[in-house]
Amino acid sequence: MDKKPCYRTQDPQVRKGPWTLEEDLILMDYIANHGEGVWNSLAKAAGLQRTGKSCRLRWLNYLRPDVRRGNITPEEQLLIIHLQSMWGNRWSEIAKHLPGRTDNEIKNYWRTKIQKHIIKQSETEINDLTIPPSSANACTDHRGVSAANTIEIACSPPSDQGGSGETMLSALPPAQEPNDSACWSVEDLWPIQSLISGMGDDAQYYSV
């Protein structure tokens, strides 16, 4: 527990905000020589004026050599949609099935690309049902995207999906039975393929 949250420290020695190239190099160099360890100690030992949490986040999401950056592939996108529909926002679990992708990247991708289209689609369906648009807008924040968190589509907790050696689509868990009255999935609203094709210009990046 963060009884004394690091970020609230008054210590002027603790830097926050974007990492500099120099800081990146220091962290990478230290981990290359000493390995990952207790992050708070690592930060001090490396001479970084950062919190352990900040170092860990930077390393895991950006500096780690096996981190893959760039466009999400169609296979990855399908997997994200499928796993999110089953597990909800358990990004770390989802990330385990996408080698080289971080939970933060998947989370951002979901919120900025997929969620947006879900809301648009929902609003379209709501309009089709002649429900006043104000109802559909009620769940959007100042960006109009955040509130899809309220779309609770988790159906089952993550379980052992057969190990991490599986390749993308072969790792797809069996689809949930739609007759679970307490749960529903993205697929219940529209087919995944139509979701992708509905992404318009974005779809050009996902063509196989």
Examine residue 1 and tell whether it contacts DNA (CB under 7 A): yes
The site map against DNA for 27-46 (x = CB under 7 A) is ----------xxxxx-----
Q: Apex CA 111: angle with CA 106 and CA 117, to 5°?
A: 120
Backbone dihedral region for residue 17 (phi beyond 0: left; psi -120 to 50: alpha; all else: beta): left
Measured from the CB atom, the residue of 60 and 192 that comes closer to DNA is 60
Stretch that binds DNA, among 74-82, 143-151, 175-183, 189-197 (CB under 7 A): 143-151
Residue 103 tokens, joined:
């939970």
Q: Pick one of 26, 79, 109, 196: the residue that binds DNA (CB under 7 A).
A: 109
| Count of residues interacting with DNA (CB under 7 A) | 47
- When binding is defined by CB under 7 A, the residue of 49, 52, 121, 189 that contacts DNA is 52
Q: Closest approach of Cβ 13 to DNA, in Å?
A: 13
Task: Select the residue interacting with DNA from 25, 29, 47, 112 (CB under 7 A).
Answer: 112
* Alpha-carbon distances, residue 134 vs 38, 94, 126, 140 (angstroms): 50, 33, 10, 10
Cα 4 to chain centroid, rounded: 27
Q: Does 182 bind DNA (CB under 7 A)?
A: no
Rounded CA separation 159/165 (Å): 15
Q: Are 96 and 164 in contact (CB under 8 A)?
A: yes
3-state secondary structure of 116: helix
Binding interface with DNA (CB under 7 A): 1-5, 7-8, 15-19, 37-41, 52-54, 56-58, 61-62, 69, 89-93, 103-105, 107-109, 111-113, 116, 141, 143-146, 149
